[in-house]
Structure 1
Amino acid sequence: MAFVIAAGLVAMGVAQRTVFLGPDSETIKVSSEQDLPFTVIDSDVFEALPEALPGESGTLTISSDGPIFATYARTTDVLGWLGDQRFTHATADGGEIDVATVEPTVELEGDPEGRSPAGSDLWLESFTAEGTMEENFSFPEGMQLSVLIASDGTEPAPATIEVTWPIDNSTPSAPWFIGAGVGVLVIGLLLYILAVVHSRRSRGPRRKGQPVPLTGAIAIARDRHVAGEIDEAKPESAGEADAESRDDGPDDDGPGDDSGASAGTDSDAARPDAQDEPGPERGTAQREASPWSLRRRMRLALPALGLSVALMAGCTADVPAADPTPSPSATEEAADTEAAQQPAITETQAERIIADLSEQVAEADEKNDASLAAKRLAGTALEIRKVNYSLRGDIDDYKSLPQIPAEPIAILLPQAFDGWPRTVLTVVEDAEDETVAPTIITLRQEDPWHSYKATYVSQLRPSAEIPELAPPYQGAALVPPDSSFLQLAPEDVATAYASILKDGEKSEYAELFDIENDGFLAEVTQKRKKTLSNFNKTGEDTGKLSFGQRAGASDPFALMTLHSGAIVGVSVVEAETVEPTDADAVIRFEDDPVLQAFTGEENSAGGVRTRYLDQLFFYVPSQGSEEPIRLLGSSSSIRGAEVLEAETDSEDEDE
C-alpha cells in the first residue's frame, strides 16, 4: 500500500512540472490602424502586467522588412521631438494598455516633413537592426521614459511590435509531493525489512514447559486462589508439612488411608525445585510488560504518520513570489513635487555630447571648415573659431585655438528644465595631457530638433575655486539676467569687469571683485604695459596708443549654485587703437601679417583698431554674502581689425 501511495505522490509532483506546467511568459501586440512613421511606447507599458515577475520588465520585439531604429528617452523629450508629427502612442493606466493616434501640437509652416531620429542629443540610448530586433530595457527608477520606434523617419514604422513579460509559472507544491512520495517509499521499505527480520526470528526453536497434571487438592487450591481466599504466600517446605502432620495426629482416615498419602505425594511432585525461580505472571500484567506489544503498535503508527504527512503535503497551496515592499526615498518624494523639473541631460548624454563636440570641432579645425564647426558651436565660441580659420587660411603658420578635450568630465551642472532652450555647464579635463588646463564650456540647445552647441569655451584658471554645485541628477535653476538676489545681476557683470580692466583698484566695482587673485586681470595689465612700452619706443612723438573695453554683445549665462550664488558666463570686448598725432604721420603695419589679413592694407593715415574677445566665467555670491566675486575661467582671442579714417572719432568702444 505504501508503494502505491508513494508512486501516486511522485507522479503528481512530476505532472505539475511537466504536463500541467503553465506558460512562462505573456505577450501583447502594439499596433495601429494607420501607417505612421513613429510609434511611442511609454515605460509604464513595460511594467503594466500584474502577473510579471517582480523586478522584470517587458522585452520588446520588433519585426520589419527594412531597417529598424529604436531609442528611449524621457517622455517629455520624446513628445517634444514629435511635437510637429502624427504618431502612434501606447500608454498604460491601471494595468490596461491603450493605443491611440496623437495629433501634432506644434504648428509649422507647410506639411511636417519626415526626419530621421538617429543622432539626436535627447536620446539616452539607441539601437538599430535589420529585419528583427529584440531588446530588454532596464529603465532607471524615478524617471518617466518612453521608447521611440521608427524605420527611417519617413517610411511607416515597423508593423509588428510585441512586448513580452516573464510570468511566474512555479509550482511550489511539486517538490512537496515528490518529497512526500519518496518519504512514504522509504518508510515502506523499512517496514518491509522489519517484517522480513521478524518472520525469520519466529521460525526458530521455542521453549515451552510440560503441563503440570492437576490434582484435586491443587485444583481446589487454585480455585480458592482465584477466588482470593488464599494468600499468595510462599508454600511451606516438605519438612514443615510433615512436622505439622505429626503434631496434629492422625486424621479420621488413619495412617492407612491411601488418599491422604497420595495427596501429599502429588503435592510434593507438583512443586519441583525449579519452582524457586517463578515464571512470568499471566493475564493482563504479562501483556503490558511484553516488548513485542510496543513493536506491534509502532508498526501501525509509522504508516499512519507517513500517510498523514503525505496528505498534508498534497494540500499545500502554491506560494506566489512575494513582491518586494518598496520603501520611500528622498528621490521619490522629490519627484512627486509638481514644481520639480528634470535636469536637461544625464551624465551618459553629456559624455556622448562632449565626445561628439570634441570630434566635430577637431575635424573642423583640421579642415578650417566653419560650417562644420557650426554643427557644435554657436555664439561667441563659433565667432572666435571663424576668425581663427580665416587667419589660418591667410597665414601659414598661424596658431590654431586650443582643442576641446573629449574626456573626462570633471563637473556637470545641467539646467533643471523640461522646456527649451536648455543650458548646461561642464568642465572637461584632458586625459592625454594633465598639464593642459581643464576646459569650461556652456552648452545650449535651442529646441528639440537641434543639437547642443557650445556657446562659451574657456580655460579654467589655476587658482579657480569652484563653489558647491548641485549633483548632475538634480540640476540647477537658470538665474534671470536681471536677478536681484546676487551681488551683481548677471547682465551687469560684464560691464563691471570692463570697468575693472580699465581702472583696476580705482573702479567703482573693485570692492566686489577678488582683484588680488585675478590672474587674467594681471595678464591683461601686463600685456598693455608691454604693448605701450614697445609703441613708445618708435611712435610716441607721432602717434598715440589707447585701450578700450566694454561688455560683449552675447547674452550672459547664469546657473545657480547650492548656496544661492551663481556661475555666470559673459563676454568682454577689448580694443587696442593706434592713431597718428601728426597730420603727416602714417601708421605702418607691414610687419604685422594679422593686421594685413584683416585690413588688406599695410598702412593707414587714420590709424588702426584691433579688437579682442574675452570669454569669462565668474562665481557671483548671493546678496549679503561676504565672499567676493571671483574669476573661474578665461580665454582671449583676436576678433578683428579695421583701419580708421582720418576724420573718424577715436572712441575706443565699438558697436
Structure 2
Amino acid sequence: MNSRRPPFPRPGLVPPAALAVTSLLLAGCTAELPVPVADAPVVAAVVTEAQERKILDQVTGVVDGAKGADGAEALAERLTGPALELRRAELRIAAAGDGKALIAMPMAAQQLVLPSEQGWPRSSFVITEQPAKGTPMLAAFEQPAPRDQYKMWGFVYLAPGVTMPQFAAAELGSPTVPADDPSLKVTPQEVVTQYASVLNVDERSKYAANFGDDKLRQTLRDAGRNQLAEIRKADKDAKGTFEVGYEPTKDPVKAVRTADGGAVVLAALLSQETLKAEKGWQLAPAAPSAAALWGDAKKSEVMKVAYRDMVALYVPPADSAEQVSLLGFHRVPYAVSNK
C-alpha cells in the first residue's frame, strides 16, 4: 500500500499567519494595541488508539468465532449494516459447501482513522496490516449512541497497488463528511450513483470521465469475456450475452475527510450478473461460491447471480483535476437463478 504525498497549499488559500503580516504592512507605521484573541479549540480524537485496538480485538473474536447455523445470529453482537449482510452471505456459502468463502478477518491495524466529533453517531476506520496472502482490508466502524458498542459497519479489500490518501494523525482525529457535502468533486451520495452507472455500462456511462479505470471494472469485463468464451468453446457459432446491473442500497454512505480536503467514501451496492445463451444451452456457475449456492438446480440457457457489494472510493476536493478512484471492493454472491 502506497501513500499519497501531503498536498501543497492550494492557490488562493493564505495561512492565518500570513494574513496577520499583511495587515501590519498595510497599516504602515501606525501602531495598534494588541487585541486579545480567544484560544483555539483543542483538536483531538474522541477515541484513543488503545480503545480502538481493543474494539478491533473484540470484533475479531466475534467474527472469527461465528461458524455454522448459529454463527449468523452471533455476528450481530459486533457487526451491523452492510458488514453484517456480507458476512452472513459468506456463512451461507460456507454452509453450502465452499469453505474457502469464509476468510479469517484479523484486525491488526496498520493505520487508524479515529473520529474527531464530540457527538454521536461516531465513525472510525482502520486499514489492516498486509496479510500473508491477499490484500489489506479497509473497515468502517460506527457507534450510534454513547452506550452502544462500536460495531463493524462495512469492509473492503484494497485493490492491488492502490495509492491510499493520507489522513490526519490518529491523535488528532478525522471528521466525517456529510452525504451532501459540496466541497468535493462529487458529493458522497452522488458519487455512488455515478459509480453504479459506470459499473453498469463502463465507458458508455455519461459519468465515465469522472472515474479512472480500476480493478472492479476489469473484473466485470473479464467475467463476461470468460463466460462467453466458454460458450463459444463448445460451439464457435453460438451466441450469448452477458450483462451486469448495479444499484446503491438504501444504506447511508460513510465518508471521512482526507488530509488534502478530499474524502474516502464507503458504500454498499447490490449487483446482478446475467448470462444468456441460445435456447437449449445448459448453463451453470463456474465460480466456487456461486456454484455452492446453485447446488443441484436445473440448468438452463439463463444464469443469474446476485451479489452484495461494498466499494471504497477516493473523492478529490472540488478544485482538483484528479479523477475519483477505487480504493477497494468486496463482492459476495447471495442468490442464483436459472430463469
Between structure 1 and structure 2, the one with the greater Rg is 1
Task: Give, in angstroms, the shift of residue 333 of structure 1.
Answer: 4.4
Q: 1:546 to 1:536 in 2, by over 3 A?
A: farther
Q: Does 1:640 align with 2:338?
A: no
From the superposition, tell whether residues 602 and 594 of structure 1 become closer, same or farther in structure 2 (CA, over 3 Å). Answer: farther
Secondary structure of the 2:184 match is: coil
1:447 to 2:139 alignment: no
Partner deviation per Cα, 1:332-369 (whole Å, 9 max, x = no partner)? 944xx3xx675341101111011111121111147761
Of 91, 97, 100, 1:399 maps to 100
Question: Relative CO higher for 1 or 2, CA cutoff 8 Å, sep ≥ 6?
Answer: 2
Contact 1:558 1:566 in 2 (8 A): yes
Partners in 1 of 2:284 and 2:243 — Cα distance?
17
Q: 1:591 to 1:508 in 2, by over 3 A?
A: closer
CA distance 1:406–1:367, shift in 2 (3 Å): farther
Q: 1:615: which partner in 2?
A: 310
Q: How many residues align?
A: 301
Provide TM-score, normalisation by structure 1. Answer: 0.42
Output the CA distance in 1 between the equivalents of 2:292 and 2:134.
Answer: 30
User: Where does 1:142-153 land on structure 2 (aligned, <5 Å)?
Assistant: none
Partner of 1:487: 185
Which 5+ residue runs of structure 2 have no aligned equivalent? 1-37
Return closer, same or farther for 1:460/1:341 CA change in 2, 3 Å cut-off. Answer: same
Q: CA deviation at 1:538?
A: 4.7
SS in 1 for 2:229: helix
Say which SS state the counterpart of residue 423 (structure 1) adopts. Answer: strand
Conservation of the 8 A alpha-carbon contact between 2:254 and 2:266: yes
- 1:484 CA displacement: 1.6
State the partner residue of 1:140: none
Alignment partner, residue 416 of structure 1: 116
Task: Report the AA paired with residue 112 of structure 2.
Answer: L
Kindly tell me: are residues 375 and 535 of structure 1, through their superposed partners in 2, closer, same or farther at Cα, counting changes over 3 Å? farther
Could you tell me which of 204, 216, 235 is aligned with 1:520? Answer: 216
CA displacement 1:267-308 (0-9 Å, x = unmatched) = xxxxxxxxxxxxxxxxxxxxxxxxxxxxxxxxxxxxxxxxxx
- CA deviations 1:50-85 (Å, max 9, x no partner) are xxxxxxxxxxxxxxxxxxxxxxxxxxxxxxxxxxxx
1:75-120 Cα deviation digits (max 9, x unpaired): xxxxxxxxxxxxxxxxxxxxxxxxxxxxxxxxxxxxxxxxxxxxxx
- 2:252 pairs with 1:551: no
Instruction: State how far apart, in whole Å, the 1-side matches of 2:297 and 2:57 are.
Output: 42
Percent identity between the two aligned chains: 26
Is the 2:285–2:303 contact (alpha carbons within 8 Å) kept by the matching residues of 1? no
Could you state the TM-score of these two structures normalised by the residue count of structure 2?
A: 0.78
Matched, 1:530 2:226: yes
Question: Which digits, 9 at most, give the CA deviation of each residue in 1:568-590, with x for residues without a partner?
Answer: 111233311234654xx475539
**Alpha-carbon contact 2:304-2:336 (below 8 Å) kept:** yes
> 1 CA distance for matches of 2:288 and 2:210?
40
Quick one: which amino acid aligns to residue 387 of structure 1? A
CA offset at residue 403 of structure 1?
A: 1.9
1-side partners of 2:114 and 2:39: how far apart?
21
Residue 425 to residue 393, structure 1, CA distance change in 2 (3 Å): same
Cα distance change of structure 1 residues 437 and 606 upon mapping to structure 2, 3 Å threshold = closer
Determine if contact 1:573/1:614 at 8 Å carries over to the other structure: yes
Q: Alpha carbons of 1:385 and 1:444: their partners in 2 closer, same or farther (altered >3 Å)?
A: same
- Whole-Å Cα distance in 2 between the matches of residues 455 and 393 of structure 1? 23
Residues 201-212 of structure 1 mapped to structure 2, 5 A cutoff: none
Give the aligned residue type for 2:82.
T
1:598 CA displacement: 4.2
CA–CA distance in structure 2, aligned partners of residues 400 and 545 of structure 1:
24
Matching of residue 471 in structure 1 with residue 173 in structure 2: no
Per-residue CA deviations over 1:615-654 (Å, capped at 9, x if unaligned) read 211111110112221222222221322343xxxxxxxxxx
Q: Establish whether residue 379 from structure 1 lines up as the match of residue 77 from structure 2.
A: no
Q: What secondary structure is seen at the aligned counterpart in 1 of 2:275?
A: strand
1:562 deviates by 2.0
CA-CA distance at 1:429 after TM superposition: 0.7
Runs ≥4 residues deviating over 6 A = 590-593
Instruction: Determine whether 1:351 maps to 2:49.
Output: no
Residue 35 of structure 2 is matched in structure 1 by none
Which residue pairs with 2:259 in the alignment?
562
Alignment of 1:506-517 (within 5 A): 506-515=204-213
C-alpha change, 1:349 and 1:541, in structure 2 (3 Å) is same
Residue of structure 1 in register with 2:33 after alignment: none
Alignment of 1:496-515 (within 5 A): 496-515=194-213
Taking the aligned partners of 1:622 and 1:607, their CA distance within structure 2 comes to: 44
Inter-CA distance 524–541: structure 2 relative to 1 (3 Å threshold): closer
- Letter of the 2:80 partner, please give it: A
Q: Distance in 2 between matches of 1:600 and 1:461?
A: 30
Mapping for residues 118-137 of structure 1, pairs under 5 Å: none
Q: Does 1:603 align with 2:298?
A: yes
Bigger Cα displacement from structure 2, 482-491 vs 363-372: 363-372
Q: Does 1:388 align with 2:116?
A: no
2:193 match: secondary structure = helix
Task: Please give the alpha-carbon distance, in whole angstroms, between the structure 1 residues aligned to 2:162 and 2:301.
Answer: 42
Other-structure match for 2:29: none
Matched-pair contact (CA < 8 Å) for 1:427–1:438: yes
- Amino acid of the residue matched to residue 348 of structure 1? A
Query: Residues 118-177 of structure 1, C-alpha deviation per residue, up to 9 Å, x if partnerless?
Result: xxxxxxxxxxxxxxxxxxxxxxxxxxxxxxxxxxxxxxxxxxxxxxxxxxxxxxxxxxxx
SS state of the match for residue 418, structure 1? coil
| Cα deviation code 1:401-440 (max 9, x no counterpart) | 3322232x2221122222221111111115xx44542211
Please tell me whether the aligned partners of residues 422 and 446 of structure 1 are also in contact (alpha carbons under 8 angstroms): yes
Whole-Å separation in 1 of the counterparts to 2:291 and 2:203? 36
Q: Is the 8 A contact 2:137 2:157 kept in 1?
A: yes
Change (3 A) 1:428 1:365: farther
Q: Deviations over 1:512-551 (max 9, x none)?
A: 2222xx2332222222211222234458747644322222
- Distance in 1 between residues matched to 2:212 and 2:156, nearest whole Å: 19
Shift of the alpha carbon at 1:603? Answer: 1.9
1:452, 1:533 → 2: CA distance?
46
3-state SS of the aligned residue for 1:456?
strand
Give the RMSD, CA atoms, in angstroms: 2.9
For the residues of structure 1 that align with 2:275 and 2:166, how far apart are their CA atoms? 44
Residue number in structure 1 paired with 2:274: 577
Contact 1:341 1:417 survives alignment (8 Å):
no
Summarize the Cα distance change of 1:636–1:419 in structure 2 as closer, same or farther, 3 Å threshold: same
Counterpart CA distance in 2 for 1:579 and 1:531 is 10
1:551 partner letter: P
